[in-house]
Amino acid sequence: MSPISGTSKDQKGTKSIILQTLRIRGPISRAVLSEITKLSRATISEAITSFIDDGWIIETEKMESRGGRPAISLELAPHTCAIIGADLDDQVWTIGAFDLCGNRIHSMQVYVEDSSPEITIQTLLNSLHTFIKDLDITPIPFIGIGSPGLVDSENGIVQSAADLGWKHVEIGKRVEKHLGWQAVVLNRYRARGLAECRYGAGRNHNEILYIGVGNGLAGGLYLNRQLITGFNGGAGEIGHMTIEPNGPICPCGNRGCLQMIASGPALVQETRRLLFEGAASRLNSDASFDLSLLKPLDVCKAANEGDSVAKEAVEKIASYLGIAMANLVNVINPEVIILGGVIPKECPHFVNTSTKVMHQRGMKPLATSTFVKTTVLNTFGGALGAANYALDRYLTYPILANLRETAKAANQQSP
């Protein structure tokens, strides 16, 4: 057996490359691993033997081969260690611990009483202290955080989040100082898209566009299961595409941004307009109902039940999204578009309408070959994606080796 220790060699980063490839790509054969990494079969064979002996990698069911002997699938062993991620949405932190295969080990949700940066971050820090203490598996010492707004991932800064009133919030440094861990911060929808492309609706696709629609609207671009960040982290800010030149003013200062006319608040606003003009609907059948309390989910539910006003409102905002989707299909030609967030999840009519408009307005050879799917992961998807992004940035073989040695030493010292 080859011992794994902090001084174990990872010559030229070979073991780290194999580790990251298996983590991002999932179960693959030795031959495919060699093709992807450009490492020789002999190099891979030696490293894999060491990994298997030490319990990091397992051989699983035989894969369909290209002829000849069936290939054996290699994959990371589950539950060897934990990585932590957190996701902020609608004043709720979702915190999760996951293994290297994306399996959820433990998760929790914590309500934030005040949306100010100070209270929001402190709530996360207090919750992480308890969360980490209660884990029965060793955590890797870094964390991923999904946040609303435009995020400078290189520096861990939320540059602006209009729905929270945040500007230049250095959340990454706060978390690093508190935990003594490395932290990464990215837009929550990009985090959710990353989880979907590896473990959810996009796991069998390579070129993916994720669009999240809720109180805001943002997206993420993924190639071969990896997030494309752009020059300074802004790739995927499709919520600020100009769709209606004379539309409502966006907090960014522009008019007619997609998020102003195709997100949850726009759905509520359009429904109120139709009701104010006298349209009959189950939404105002109760004379005592206060329209100021109307929520996007109320409209989605009514549309699902066939309410004509709700369906008309949904069709209008979904059509705007469909136009944006058609433009994006023409420009980047994704294999699949994944729609996430509360509106697509709760309203099939929204998904169907936006898809129909995309097919009508996109170039036919491109639009007709683009799949449109909805997310399959639950509320912990953002935390899982954020944790994965931290692994993408920082995980190396020596870190895992040191982690195991530290855990062994701790177990030997305990009575």
Give the tens place of pLDDT for each residue, 194-225: 999 999 999 999 999 999 999 999 999 999 99
Which helix H or strand E contains 85, and what residues bound it? strand 82-89
Distance of alpha carbon 350 from alpha carbon 337, whole angstroms: 14
Token reading at 230: 């752009």
Q: What is the pLDDT of residues 231-281, one digit of tens each?
A: 877 889 999 999 999 999 998 899 999 999 999 999 999 999 999 898 889
Instruction: Please give the radius of gyration of the chain, using alpha carbons only, rounded to the nearest integer.
Output: 23
Q: Which residue has the higher pLDDT, 6 or 388?
A: 388
Q: Provide the pLDDT for residue 413.
A: 65
Q: Provide the pLDDT for residue 199.
A: 96
Q: Which residue has the higher pLDDT, 284 or 145?
A: 145
Q: Do domains 82-194+379-413 and 203-374 have the same CATH topology?
A: yes
For tokens 């902020």, name the residue.
88
Q: Provide the pLDDT for residue 405.
A: 83
Q: What mean pLDDT do residues 384-396 have?
A: 97
Q: Would the CA dihedral through 177, 173, 397, 87 be positive or negative?
A: positive
* Sequential DSSP letters for 179-212: HSSEEEEEEHHHHHHHHHHHHSTTTT-SEEEEEE
Q: What mean pLDDT do residues 295-319 have?
A: 96
Residue type, 34: S
Confidence band of 12 (pLDDT split at 50, 70, 90) = low
Residue type, 391: L
Q: What is the pLDDT of residues 92-128, one digit of tens each?
A: 999 999 999 999 999 999 999 999 999 999 999 999 9
The number of residues in the chain equals 415
Confidence band of 85 (pLDDT split at 50, 70, 90) = very high
Q: Provide the pLDDT for residue 190.
A: 96
pTM of the model: 0.92
Taking the chain, what is the end-to-end CA distance rounded to the nearest angstrom?
Answer: 28
**2 has a pLDDT exceeding 70:** no
**65 has a pLDDT exceeding 60:** no
Confidence band of 410 (pLDDT split at 50, 70, 90) = low
**Cβ atoms within 10 Å, residue 240:** 18
Q: What is the pLDDT of residues 332-365, one digit of tens each?
A: 999 999 999 999 999 999 999 999 999 999 999 9
Q: Provide the pLDDT for residue 67.
A: 59
Q: Provide the pLDDT for residue 1.
A: 25
Angle between helices 348-361 and 296-304 (to 10 degrees): 80
* Sheet containing 166-169, strands listed edge to edge, beginning at the edge strand earlier in sequence: 150-152, 157-161, 166-169
How is the chain split into domains, by residue range? 11-76, 82-194+379-413, 203-374
Domain 203-374 in CATH 3.30.420.40? The answer is: yes
Please state which CATH number belongs to domain 11-76: 1.10.10.10
Confidence band of 63 (pLDDT split at 50, 70, 90) = low
Q: What is the pLDDT of residues 149-201, one digit of tens each?
A: 999 999 999 999 988 899 999 999 999 999 999 999 999 999 999 999 999 99
**396 has a pLDDT exceeding 90:** yes
Which residues does 198 contact at the CB level (< 8 Å), separation at least 6? 24, 26, 102, 225, 388
Determine the 3-state secondary structure of 139 from DSSP: strand
Token reading at 116: 């100010």
* Sequential DSSP letters for 227-282: EE--TTS-TT-GGG-BS-TTSPBPTTS-BSBHHHHSSHHHHHHHHHHHHHTT---G
CB 389 within 8 A of CB 227: yes
Q: What is the pLDDT of residues 19-48, one digit of tens each?
A: 999 999 989 999 999 999 999 999 999 999
> Whole-number mean pLDDT of the chain?
91
* Sequential DSSP letters for 40-67: -HHHHHHHHHHHHHTTSEEEEEEEPPSS
Assign domain 82-194+379-413 one CATH number from 2.60.120.20, 3.30.420.40, 1.20.1630.10, 3.40.50.970.
3.30.420.40
Q: What mean pLDDT do residues 54-74 have?
A: 77
Confidence band of 6 (pLDDT split at 50, 70, 90) = very low
Q: What mean pLDDT do residues 132-146 have?
A: 94
CA atoms within 13 Å, Cβ hemisphere of 235: 16
Token reading at 17: 């490359």
